[in-house]
Amino acid sequence: MRIAVVGVGTAGLMSLCHMLAHAPENTTVVSIYDPKIKILGIGESSTFGFPKILFQGTGFNLPEFANELDATAKFGVTYKGWRENDFESVIQPGDYALHFNNFKMKEFCFKRFKELWLDKFQTIEGTVLDVKNNGAYGSVYLENSEEKFDLIIDCRGYPTDYSDYNLIENMPVNHALVHMIPEPGTWNTTIHQATRNGWMFGIPLKTRQGWGYLYNDTITTREEAVEEIAEIFNTTPDKLDLREFPFKPYFAKTFFDGRILKNGNRALFFEPLEALSGFFYEMALRTVFDYYTGVMPGVDKVNDHLTTLSQNLENFYHYVYHGGSVHDTKFWQTVTKTSAEKLKNNKRWEDTVAEVNGCIVGNDLIEKPIGLWFTEKWIDWEDKFGYSYFKPHRGSIYFKRYP
Amino acid sequence: MKIAVLGVGTAGIMSLCHTLKWICPEGSTVTSIYDPSVAILGIGETSQPNFVKSLFEGADFNFLIDAHELDATIKLGASYKKWRDTDFDMPMEAPAYGIHFNNFKLRDFCFKRFKEKWGSKFSIIEGKVDKAVSKKSHAEVVVNGRSYSFDYVIDCRGYPPDLTDYTVLDDFTVNHCLVNIIEKPGTWNSSINQATTHGWMFGIPLTTRQGWGYLYNDKITTREEAVGEIQSLFADPNPTLKEFTFKSYYANTFFDGRILKNGNRAFFFEPAEGMAGFFYDTTLRYFYDFVSGQTNVDVLNENLSRTANDIENFIYFLYHGGSTFNSKFWNITKEKCTKKLRVKSAHRWRMTLLNIKKAIAHPELNISTDETGRWSKDLWIRWADNLGYDYFKEKE
C-alpha cells in the first residue's frame, strides 16, 4: 500500500504519525510538501489524543522531548470570566495533553520518522498543483510529475475554493489577533478568558506565551479589539506586536471520496475553543482507518460520520456561547441571541440532549459517548455553565471543587 | 454485595476506590475497617498512571485542582542516575502520567471524598481486627470482639505476621532502607533512581518536601557504611534517618474465594519502578474478573503468581548488568541476578524473552503484556538499550 500525506502542518504530521504507526506492513507513507509554504503557527493547544498519536508515530514523551517542541503538559482548560466563578474543564486524570510550538513540529517529527520507520517513511518536496481521485488510484500532481497512491490525505490548509464546503454563518468569532510574550508560560492549562468582544486563549510554552484575542469583525472594530488587548496586558496599543488572522468557519461537504481524505484546515475550520479541531483531525484518521479495516462500511458512512461530528462541533460552540459571559456588551448580547437561535429547533442538538437525558437514571449516569463528549462531561458542562437542558442529576465530577 | 477492605494504607485506599467504582452492583456496600491506632508506613510515594485513574474514579481526585491535598507532583517517568556511564530516563508512554504523593494524607482526603461521592454505599468500622476468616458462603471479620459478615474481604493489613504461606526470596537484592526527608519542595517530575556504592537510592519530589530512600543489603553492607554514604551524598554529617528493614515475598495463595490479599499482605519486593502499585492494581482487576464471573479462584491465583514472578524477573533484569560502581554489593548482586535469570528454573523468564522477541518480529499479533513480562515490547527494547543489554538486538 502507498499512502501520501500532503502538507506538514499539525494535521499533516498527525496524519503521518497515525499512518506510520497503524498502516499494515509493507506500506510506504510519503510526505509531500512544498518547503516554500509557511505553516500557520501560533503555539498550539491539543487534546490528550495528540501526545498519544505523537508517541505512536515518533516515540514522543514529555520528559525527553519537551525542549524540542517547547512543550508543556496541559491538564485542562481554565475558563475565566465566562461566569461569576472561574472554572476548569479537566482532562480525565491519568492522561495529559500538550501545549507545543508547531513551528518546531516538522523538524522533530521528520528526524524521528527517519530513525524509527526507516524506509516506510519517504518524502517528496515540491509544489503540489492538484490531487485527484482516478478511480483505481489517487494522483498527486506536482510541477514535473504525477505520483500515484492508494490513499491521499490532503492537509494543504485552507481551501482555495469553497464551493464544496458548508460555510457556517453566524459563528461567534471570525478574527484573531495574536500576541506573543517572550517569557515562559508557567501554568498547566489552556486559558480561555472571556473578554468584552469575544474571548482570548493563553498558551504556555517552555520559552514563551501565545495569547490569541478572538473577536467578530462584523461587531467589533480592530481598534476596539486592540484597545482591549492593550488594557489586558497593561500596555498601550502602539507597543503591541500583533499578528492578525481573519478566518471563516466551514466544513467540507465531502471529506472522503474513497481515495482522498481531506484533513486539517482542508476539511474543517471553526475556532480554537477547547482545541477541538485536533480532535476532529484524529477522528478523521480513525474513521478512514476503520473504512480500510471494514469497520466503517462504505465511503458514504465515512462522510456521514464526519459530517455528524462537524455538526456536533458547531452545536457545542453555540452551546458554550449562548449562555454569554460576565460581560454585558454588544458582542455578547449578539452572540447569545444568535447561538441560542442556532440551538433552537436543531434536530441534532435535540437528539444530543435527549440522549444525555436517557443516560441519567435516578442517581446514576450511564457513561457513553454522546456527540463530542461522554455523559459525565456533558453533566460537567451543564453544571459549570449553569444550563438546565438535562434532567436532575447527581452532579459533575470533572470540574468539581469540593469545599 | 457486601465488601470489606481491611487497612487504609495505599493498597487499602486503592482497593476502596476500585470496589466503590467498579465492583458493587446496585445496593452494595463497601466497608473500610481499620484500626486508627495502627500507623501506616509512609515515606512519600511514587505511582503509575493506574493509581491516578483509580483515585479519580473512586475519589474524584484530579491533579489540576487537588494536587495540594496530597502534596502531589506529576510523575512523567523515572530518571536512572549512575546505573550506566550515561544517565537515562524511562518515560511513561505519552499521554499517561503518575503522581508522587504524600500517603499520610491519602486516607483523610479519600474518606472525605468517599462520603460525599458514594453516600451510604461507603461505611467505616474503626477497631482492631481480631480475625478475618473465610466461610463457605461468606467471610467473617471480627472487630473488637464483634463479628461482621461480608461476601468478600480485601485484606490490606500490611506485612503478614508470619510468612508460612508465602514464598520468601531469601537472597534478594536489597533488604534495608534508610529514609532521609529533606524539608524543601521537590521540583523535578520523575522518580529518581540513583545507583550508589551499596545499592540505590530513590528520590521522590513532593510539593512540600523530598523523600529520599537509601536501599542496601544488610548482609553485604553495614549500617555505618550506608550512613557514611548518605552523609556524603547529602553533604550532611547528621542526617535524621528513619529505618525500615524488609523481606521480599509473595503469597502462595492470594485469594481463597472469600478473602483477597492485597498490598503488603500479598506481596512485597523493593520499590524499583514503583511496581508494587502496579501489582495492587492488577490484583484488583483480576478480582473484578472473578466477581463478574470471568475467571475462577485458581486462575486468579495463577495470574497473580505469574505477575509476581514477572516483577521478580524484571528486578533481576534491572540489576544483573550492575551499575557504574565496582563495589562488593554490585559484584555480588550482579552475579546473583544473572544466575537467577539463567538457572533452569527460570522458565518464566525464558518464556517472557521468547514472547518479547515474537512481539517484536510480529507486531500484528498484538501479544499482550501479560505474556511479555508486564512491559510492552517497545519499553523492553528501551530498557535493554538504556541498560546496554543485547537480548533483543537481532530483532530490532
H/E/C letters for each residue in A13-30?
HHHHHHHHHHCCCCCEEE
Q: Give the predicted TM-score (pTM) of the model.
A: 0.89
Distance between CA atoms of B376 and B368, rounded to whole angstroms?
Answer: 8
Nearest of B169, B366, B96, B68 to residue A51 by alpha carbon: B96
User: Is the per-residue pLDDT at A332 higher than 90?
Assistant: yes
Whether residue B91 and residue A94 make contact (CB cut-off 8 A), yes or no, is no
Q: How far is B279 from chain A (nearest CA, A)?
A: 17
Please say whether the beta carbons of A194 and A177 come within 8 A.
Answer: no
User: Is the per-residue pLDDT at A403 higher than 60?
Assistant: no
Most distant CA pair in chain A, distance: 67
With a CB cutoff of 8 Å and minimum separation 6, the contacts of B303 are B282, B286, B295, B370
With a CB cutoff of 8 Å and minimum separation 6, the contacts of B59 are B17, B109, B110, B113, B114, B117
Distance between CA atoms of A16 and A22, rounded to whole angstroms?
Answer: 10
Which residues of chain A lie closer than 8 angstroms to B18, CB-CB? none
Distance between CA atoms of A61 and B95, rounded to whole angstroms?
Answer: 8
Model confidence at A397, pLDDT cuts 50, 70, 90, reads low
Whether residue A73 and residue B97 make contact (CB cut-off 8 A), yes or no, is yes
- Bridge partner residues of B242 (DSSP): B179
Q: How far is B104 from chain A (nearest CA, A)?
A: 20
For chain A, the helix, strand and coil percentages under 3-state DSSP, each to the nearest 5 = 35, 25, 40
Model confidence at B83, pLDDT cuts 50, 70, 90, reads very high
Which residues of chain B lie closer than 8 angstroms to A76, CB-CB? 64
Nearest of B278, B378, B97, B91 to residue A97 by alpha carbon: B97
What grid cell was written down for B385?
A: 538499550
Please say whether the beta carbons of B182 and B209 come within 8 A.
Answer: yes
What grid cell was written down for B237?
A: 554529617
Q: Tell whether A120 lies on the interface with B, counting CB pairs under 8 A.
A: no
Task: Give, as one character, the DSSP assignment of residue A258.
Answer: S
Distance between CA atoms of A213 and A335, rounded to whole angstroms?
Answer: 16
What was the pLDDT predicted at A38? Answer: 81
Distance between CA atoms of B47 and B158, rounded to whole angstroms?
Answer: 18
Q: To the nearest 10°, report the CA torsion of A47, A50, A52, A55.
A: -150
Distance between CA atoms of B312 and B214, rounded to whole angstroms?
Answer: 20
Q: How far is A73 from chain B (nearest CA, A)?
A: 9
Among left, alpha and beta (phi > 0; psi -120 to 50; other), residue B84 is beta
Whether residue A189 and residue B62 make contact (CB cut-off 8 A), yes or no, is no
Whether residue A90 and residue B64 make contact (CB cut-off 8 A), yes or no, is yes
Q: How far is B52 from chain A (nearest CA, A)?
A: 5
Please say whether the beta carbons of A47 and A73 come within 8 A.
Answer: no
Strands of A2-6's sheet in order across: A121-125, A28-33, A2-6, A151-154, A260-262
Whether residue A95 and residue B96 make contact (CB cut-off 8 A), yes or no, is yes
Section A359-379 average pLDDT: 89
Three-state secondary structure call for residue B371: coil
Q: Which of A17, A54, A62 to mutate to test the interface with B (most CBs of B within 10 A)?
A: A62
Whether residue A93 and residue B94 make contact (CB cut-off 8 A), yes or no, is no
Distance between CA atoms of B80 and B193, rounded to whole angstroms?
Answer: 5
Percent of chain B past pLDDT 90, that is, above it, reads 87
What grid cell was written down for B220?
A: 553485604
Q: How far is B76 from chain A (nearest CA, A)?
A: 6
Window 228-267 of A: residues touching B by CB (8 A cutoff) are: none
What grid cell was written down for A13?
A: 504530521
Section B130-153 average pLDDT: 97
What was the pLDDT predicted at B395? Answer: 44
Search chain A and give the residue with CA nearest B53: A94
With a CB cutoff of 8 Å and minimum separation 6, the contacts of A361 are none
What was the pLDDT predicted at B246? Answer: 93
What was the pLDDT predicted at A145? Answer: 95
Q: How far is B91 from chain A (nearest CA, A)?
A: 7
Nearest of A128, A159, A132 to residue A265 by alpha carbon: A159
Model confidence at B396, pLDDT cuts 50, 70, 90, reads very low
Nearest of B246, B201, B247, B199 to residue B222 by alpha carbon: B199
Search chain B and give the residue with CA nearest A25: B364
Section B303-329 average pLDDT: 96
Classify burial at A287, counting beta carbons within 10 Å of its beta carbon; exposed 0-12, middle 13-18, buried 19 or more. buried
Strands A198-204, A190-195: pairing kind? antiparallel
Q: Tell whether A73 lies on the interface with B, counting CB pairs under 8 A.
A: yes
Average pLDDT over chain A reads 94
Which residues of chain A lie closer than 8 angstroms to B378, CB-CB? 59
Whether residue B53 and residue A25 make contact (CB cut-off 8 A), yes or no, is no
User: Is the per-residue pLDDT at A402 higher than 90?
Assistant: no
Angle between helices A276-292 and A299-321 (to 10 degrees): 160
Task: Give, as one character, the DSSP assignment of residue A187.
Answer: -
Q: How far is B256 from chain A (nearest CA, A)?
A: 32
Classify burial at A70, counting beta carbons within 10 Å of its beta carbon; exposed 0-12, middle 13-18, buried 19 or more. buried
Of B55, B64, B190, the CB nearest to A75: B64
A vs B, Cβ pairs < 8 A, gives: 82
Of B64, B77, B95, the CB nearest to A95: B95
Higher-pLDDT residue of B176 and B361 is B176
Whether residue A96 and residue B56 make contact (CB cut-off 8 A), yes or no, is no
Whether residue B364 and residue A25 make contact (CB cut-off 8 A), yes or no, is yes
Q: How many CB atoms lie within 10 A of CB A40?
A: 15
Among left, alpha and beta (phi > 0; psi -120 to 50; other), residue B127 is left
What was the pLDDT predicted at A190? Answer: 97
Search chain A and give the residue with CA nearest B114: A402
Percent of chain A past pLDDT 90, that is, above it, reads 88
Whether residue B76 and residue A55 make contact (CB cut-off 8 A), yes or no, is no
Section A179-191 average pLDDT: 95
Search chain A and give the residue with CA nearest B96: A95
Whether residue B96 and residue A97 make contact (CB cut-off 8 A), yes or no, is no
Whether residue B112 and residue A402 make contact (CB cut-off 8 A), yes or no, is yes
Q: Tell whether A379 lies on the interface with B, counting CB pairs under 8 A.
A: no
Distance between CA atoms of A200 and A193, rounded to whole angstroms?
Answer: 5
What was the pLDDT predicted at A398? Answer: 59
Whether residue A48 and residue B64 make contact (CB cut-off 8 A), yes or no, is no
What does the pLDDT look like over A117-142, one tens digit per residue? 999 999 999 999 999 999 999 999 99
Q: Tell whether A93 lies on the interface with B, counting CB pairs under 8 A.
A: yes
Search chain B and give the residue with CA nearest A187: B64
Q: To the nearest 10°, report the CA torsion of A311, A312, A318, A322.
A: 140
What does the pLDDT look like over A291-322, one tens digit per residue? 998 998 999 999 999 999 999 999 999 999 99
Distance between CA atoms of B354 and A133, rounded to whole angstroms?
Answer: 45
Average pLDDT over chain B reads 94
Model confidence at B39, pLDDT cuts 50, 70, 90, reads confident
Search chain A and give the residue with CA nearest B51: A94
What was the pLDDT predicted at A39? Answer: 72
Detail the DSSP E strand segments found in A63-174. 72-74, 76-80, 87-90, 97-100, 121-125, 128-133, 138-142, 146-149, 151-154, 165-167
What was the pLDDT predicted at A25? Answer: 81
Section A228-246 average pLDDT: 95
Strands of B259-261's sheet in order across: B122-126, B29-34, B2-6, B152-155, B259-261
Angle between helices B49-59 and B106-118 (to 10 degrees): 40
Please say whether the beta carbons of B371 and B309 come within 8 A.
Answer: no
Distance between CA atoms of A356 and A374, rounded to whole angstroms?
Answer: 9
Section A22-38 average pLDDT: 92
Which residues of B sit within 8 Å Cβ distance of A? 49-50, 52-53, 55-56, 60-65, 74, 76-77, 79, 89, 91-97, 112-113, 116-117, 189-190, 364, 378
Q: How many residues does chain B have?
A: 396
User: Is the per-residue pLDDT at B243 higher than 70?
Assistant: yes
Please say whether the beta carbons of B98 and B52 come within 8 A.
Answer: yes
Which residues of chain A lie closer than 8 angstroms to B74, CB-CB? 73, 96
Search chain A and give the residue with CA nearest B363: A25
Position A140, amino acid:
V
Distance between CA atoms of B159 and A277, rounded to whole angstroms?
Answer: 51
Q: What's the number of CA atoms in the CB half-sphere (13 Å) around residue A350?
A: 4
Model confidence at A394, pLDDT cuts 50, 70, 90, reads confident
Whether residue B95 and residue A48 make contact (CB cut-off 8 A), yes or no, is yes
Q: How far is B64 from chain A (nearest CA, A)?
A: 6
Distance between CA atoms of A109 and A130, rounded to whole angstroms?
Answer: 25
Whether residue B94 and residue A61 make contact (CB cut-off 8 A), yes or no, is yes
What was the pLDDT predicted at A165? Answer: 97
Q: To the nearest 10°, report the CA torsion of A90, A91, A97, A99.
A: -10
Percent of chain A past pLDDT 70, that is, above it, reads 97
Search chain A and give the residue with CA nearest B93: A61
